[in-house]
A and B are shown apart, each in its own frame.
Chain A
Amino acid sequence: MTNAASSERTADVQEEDLRRVWANPTGWRYWTSVNNTQIGLWYGSAAFIFMLFAGVLALLVRLQLAVPDNDFLSADMFNQAFTLHGTVMMFLFAVPIFEAVAIFLLPSMLGARELPFPRLSAFGFWSFALGGVFVCGSIFFNAAPNSGWFMYPPLATDKEYSGIGADIWLLGLSFIEVASIAAAVEIIVGIMKCRAPGMRINMMPLFAWYLLIVGGMILFAFPPLIAGDILFEMERMFDWPFFDAKRGGDPLLWQHLFWIFGHPEVYIIFLPAIALMAMIVPTFAQRPIIGYSWIVLAAVGTGFLSFGLWVHHMFTTGLPQISLAFFSAASEAVAIPTGVQIFVFIATMLAGRVIFSLPMLFGAGGLAIFVIGGLTGVMVALAPFDWQAHDTYFVVAHLHYVLIGGMLFPVLAGIYYYYPLINARKLSDRLGKIAFWLMFIGFNVAFFPMHLTGLRGMPRRVFTYPAEVGWDLLNLISTVGAFIFATGVALVVIDILRPKHREPKGKMNPWNAGTLEWISEPEENWGVRSIPIIKSRYPLWDQPGLIDDINKGRFYLPDTQDGRRETLVTSVLDADPVQCLRVGGTSYLTIISALSLGGVFIALTFHWWLLTVLCGIVTLGAILIWLWTGTSEIPKRNERDIGLGVTLPLYVSGPASVGWWAMFITMAGDGTAFASLMFGYFFYWTIHPDFTAGLPGPGAGWPIVAVALFALAWLAMLLARHANANDRVWMARLSLLGSVPITLAACLAGLAGPYLHDMQPTVHVYPAIVWVISLWTVLHGLVAIIMQLYCLAGSFAGRLTASYDADLRNVMLYWHFLMITAMISFGVLGLFPEVR
């Protein structure tokens, strides 16, 4: 046999092995898959279905408003319909669809086999699906939330009015927020650490830049809402008066926490849509993007500025004018980076020869709509104008122009563009064009008149209106437009669903795009056949023969070892290979933990305490088994030859490992939630002359003891890590064991302050906020104890040793955060009332 022939045979064998290792299970076990490409598809489809459901609700709303004095829907049904519409569109469609697209596209776009935590993605998906069905289903039992998608108290805290709907909203969405944060962890670590060798940060696809920023935004935007949810649920469940003005609470705190989340959220939605455009425009201009760095500027700039805008949703709440002015100014500033992106696209199109295909049509139409919405945005960002327009249909018009133009149209552009990656065929050009024009015209017919209805004074969220006030014609036009728009959407759905197996398969990369995601083949699960070396921003244009070399397995990791799924970890800036990472494979554990965690939230909604505890135990167990069997496994060999003469370690720990980064990112989000609770504490301090209302505080003594004990436990942990690293095993075990009771004592000391001073959380907001902050910290302490015991068990089981210490180092990182949390929380609770 010749050399060439034999190497070809090896390649074939390797390919078979790879296919087997990456194969999804068949039959009903298919649903236990954890492959990111698969999860991305499920995620996207689920989000799309939720969108259609919310769309139907919108049509009901429009029917009710078509004519004056209509009684098609009852007032209460109307309230449920628009609340669920907004909630589902924002939480179950707009954000998740991008997590879906990202999870689907990123592996091949980055030239990776897989993102680092596929099981986490699966967990996120199942959480999302369960939470979504729970929230949507409520309307069929006449139990949907009915106080608007932003759930303002005191309306939403009024149990008489809001019934169980508000709890469904709070708990269902908290659960989904967990899924979002899981996705953010996956996306951030994936983009930073799993790019193909050579893909330095100046060569990352723009989509990845945007998603990196969006991941960061999720981390700082969602936790304030989670903190708000906690306060809200404590009020609804146990009558702790956080938003009850009679007992020192303040509904405005909810508005702050909601919009600190809510405004960044609109950019969390908008940026990924623009990211899709940043992939599509260069392809159809057939040239690299002009102003790559400018796009990075815009993405990062928008990401930051969007956190300085939240009060523009609160212009009419009577905040000091100087505060309003700060936020008004920042709201105008954000128009700059937003504009930059649009100019970059226009410049790229002008410089290339544009092929005006369907994705471009949707993209351009969307941007045109978005620009109008941006203009009305700049109008309502001026406080005096907003005092007139707030809570009228003008705002409804604004938000739909930005959301549909800035997100729905780009998503559809993305679907038309990327569909060949799912099915190897394109969607119909003819149907698509008809759909586009129906949607474009229908949209403007529906929403443009709303500017006028708003200026004529029609408030949003009224279920009907009298005939004399001059709103009837405009409303009727809007309803007609809505149905035209819906017809367009229906055509898209038909086009996606119609069977296509009789059509011939198209060729790979049908649009002749330059970026790496187009190497992925719909039938294969392995992300890439071999992991290439990247030398250009548009490798498919600039690296001749690349696809062939990848598919013949001529690059890194063409083979498998030990039957494990593997991918490469590379350095952040220059993407030098640093580790061969073994990622988790198919597993039930993800579904079990997601479903049981869902059980916790659902049982809480109905106050089934016993079931809550049971589900909690199952969740904890499942997660522990998942961690024990699926992470930080000690490999048989230390190193792995990944081909092309490179050998990499299989196990790394500390900041070099992806697990450490995941912990860091999670804790950054956790810290933000904690900061939001502290914000609440000081908020109450500012609004009252004496925020303790003369009630007893926790005193200074016990909180100081708590901090001291936490510090002691933290030192013991440091000692444990140090001893373990020096192979002084017993020393490490003893300090681990010793830190357990100290942590427990610290927790008890933390609770002793409010408990021994008989602070009654239902009496006034001051004791309530002290209790919440103490409980938050103590709960983290209890989790820390579980981690200590886990490490101890690991040490005895021989999976935690001097050179294999990833678990201990991650736990140590958790402890650093815990130490800061404990210092701030007990420091403030104990000392602030004394010194103020």
Chain B
Amino acid sequence: MRLIPREVETLWTLFTGPVVWALHFLACYAAAAIYCAKASEAPFSFDALRLSLFAITVVALVAILAAAWLSWRQWGFGSGDPPHDAPTRHDRLLFQGFATLLLSGLSFIAVIFVSVPLLFIEVCAR
């Protein structure tokens, strides 16, 4: 078994970063919404919830970094500059790599944005 996956050629890899963002966002939203609605019956504290969501945030960030690394590789580690508009399979691959890398960057920032409330908000509602 290889540790680092081989390059795959599909359109879908483009969406890896945003999908991770979406899953992370859903996890945060659903966990908080359910916890706060059922706080009275919850067997653990809000802080425990925040901590576990932090852990999930770290996992999400690592996943995005992994996607970023793969796309960086697909982009030839930055060996060529955009625009990648030649009519060749090679340029198409470079374009995919570069666009995926950009999206990973945006997703990384967006995950951090969404997790900031976990730092500052200590109760469900005041």
A interface list, Cβ under 8 A from B: 192, 198, 200-203, 288, 291-294, 296-297, 300-301, 303-305, 307-308, 318-323, 325-330, 332-333, 336-337, 534-537, 572-574, 686-687
Contact = CB atoms under 8 A, between A and B. Distances in A.
B114 A202 contact: no
A325 B117 contact: yes
Contact of A301 (B18, B34, B98, B121): B18
B83 interface: yes
Contacts of B116: 325, 329
B59 interface: no
Contacts of B36: 320, 322-323
A297 B98 CA distance: 10
A356 to B, nearest CB: 25
Nearest to A291: B82
Given A308-B114, A330-B110, A572-B11, A686 B102 contact: no
Given A320-B124, A323-B33, A329-B117, A293 B95 contact: yes
Contacts of B103: 297, 300-301
Most buried by A among B34, B36, B84, B114: B114
Interface residues of B, number: 48
A201 B92 CA distance: 7
Contact of B113 (A296, A318, A321, A332): A332
Contacts of B37: 686-687
Provide the main secondary structure of the chain B interface: helix
A687 B11 CA distance: 40
B69 interface: no
A201 B121 contact: no
Contacts of A288: 83, 85
B11 A573 contact: yes
A470 to B, nearest CB: 34
Contacts of B94: 202
B89 A574 contact: yes
Nearest to B29: A326
A203 B114 contact: no
Closest 9 CB pairs of A and B: A325-B117, A202-B95, A304-B18, A686-B37, A320-B36, A297-B102, A535-B87, A320-B124, A333-B113
B72 interface: no
A318 B118 CA distance: 19
A333 B9 contact: no
Most buried by A among B25, B87, B113, B116: B87
Interface in B72-92: 82-85, 87, 89, 91-92
Nearest to A295: B99
A296 B99 contact: yes
Given A201-B92, A288-B83, A304 B14 contact: no
B6 interface: no
B126 interface: yes
Contacts of B9: 573
A243 B48 CA distance: 33
A686 B95 contact: no
Contact of A292 (B14, B38, B83, B113): B83
A319 B34 CA distance: 11
B87 A336 contact: no
B109 interface: yes
A297 B105 CA distance: 10
Nearest to B102: A297
